[in-house]
Amino acid sequence: MGKIVARNPFRLCALAALAALGPGIVWGQTPGRFTAIGNMTTPRYGHTATLLADSRVLITGGRDVHNEMLSSAELYDPSTGMFTSTGSMVLPRYHSNNTLLRDGRVLIVGGTGLPGGVANAELYDPATGTFSLTGNITPPQFLYGPTLLNSGEVLVLVQGGSVEFTLTPPTRAELYDPVSGAFTATGNGSWDWSATSATLLTDGTVLIAGGPDTQGIFRAGQLYDPVSGTFTPVGNGTTLCYWNTATLLTNGNVLLAGGGQDDIGIALASAALFNPVSAKFIPTGDMITARLGHTATLLPDGTVFVAGGYAWASLLNSAERYDPFTGAFTAAGNLTTGRALHTATLLDNGMVLLAGGSDSTWQATASAELYNPSLLMPALVITFDRTNVAVGTSYFVSVSGSNLTSQTFFDIRFKAPGSNAYDVALNWQRSLAAGHEVSAGTAIGGWTINGVRPHQGEADHTGGFVPVSATIAVSP
């Protein structure tokens, strides 16, 4: 492998020599167990949770015990197990949509505000802990399914009208450019996008699935092509409820599970797979329990962890796991407390943070817990052939660990000298051993790496980062 070619060559080529990163961290919890941890600073449900590049979790908005919409935000630090307040959003938001951008900032769009959909978007900067306004969607609309595209832009689905769940006027989509801070129009959809899901597929297209028809269900999906900016209907008549969860599996399929129509008391246990090759939905095993307002999280071993929610006016504390090899759901134990409209975040250590939601009294809770699956993040060892490199020279990298092949791609998360933000280099290396060049113009000084993400598909960047901690140096 020669000179690194990627989104930001100036920063990528500055990566230099490391010592072995060691065998990883040993975690003390019992695998497959739920453990209650300290409470959030504020009870909330219908909030958002975003894993930041520095391994902390940003939690924003939602509703409190008085059913008031919140603008407050807080951070969870896995290294301390503590929640702490951070700056408040400019506007209160309930069921907003957060997207981690490549530069480490978080884009916050949509949600229910006062008196309706929120047109203003804002950014959270982890370096300063502050929120600031950015581009607007005009006129005010309800926004769904923001998706970070391979280009670095964010696709936002726009639901028309001043009343949530209206079927008119036609839906449309817009793209947010993090460089300019502006939204621009892209193609139109063919039906209501209320409560829809949007999933980036391995080929760079986006699967849209979930918006209701007049009975509150949908019978197909749409694919968005970023190259042409168009939406194409896909599917084969499969019926799924909206408010389902959508999870991209390691084999490229998408698992859609559960959902329903809470206004008329419907919750489903049904599940289906979307196959991008055939562009059709494929039946798979049903969940053990019908669920609405649940979460679904892809675990490091490729299974999907489904937790909580409610059905038939009953709050659920059960969890289950979907195995893509068998197509079946199996019980995964019980949460320490029932919760719905909560968040579930895969941490860099392989555990899942479950936070907030509605509790057994149907009020917002501040409680949180960790789920420790049977398989945590694998340990990786990265070995370099020298401990320091100079600009204009090259170095050699070897990677060892579990479930790696000669065709594995490696993403890295790093911070440049003088920067407070982490960046991500996609496909930094392919294969277990490769050479790298340090190009002219590389910043001199210490660089840090805090995560490595192995993946088998070139466009699949959905997994978690294996936590590492290393400092590297580049000399003139």
pLDDT number for residue 132: 96
For strands 423-430 and 409-415, give the pairing: antiparallel
pLDDT number for residue 375: 65
Tokens of 157: 């689905």
Residues 6+ apart with CB under 8 A from 277: 252
53 touches 421 (CB < 8 A): yes
- Residues 208-250 have pLDDT tens digits of 886 554 444 455 688 899 999 998 888 765 555 567 899 999 8
pLDDT number for residue 376: 64
Q: Cα angle at 236 between 166 and 328, to 5 degrees?
A: 100
pLDDT number for residue 18: 33
The verdict on pTM exceeding 0.95 is: no
- Residues 173-200 have pLDDT tens digits of 889 999 999 999 887 765 555 557 889 9
pLDDT number for residue 75: 98
CA pair distance 472, 415, nearest whole angstrom:
10
pLDDT number for residue 330: 93
Closest to 141 measured CA to CA, from 120, 123, 158: 158
Ranges of the chain with pLDDT below 70: 1-31, 113-117, 138-144, 159-170, 189-195, 210-220, 236-242, 261-265, 375-378
pLDDT number for residue 262: 56
CA pair distance 215, 204, nearest whole angstrom:
32
Domains, the chain, in order of start with CATH, read 9-22+379-475 (2.60.40), 33-372 (2.120.10.80)
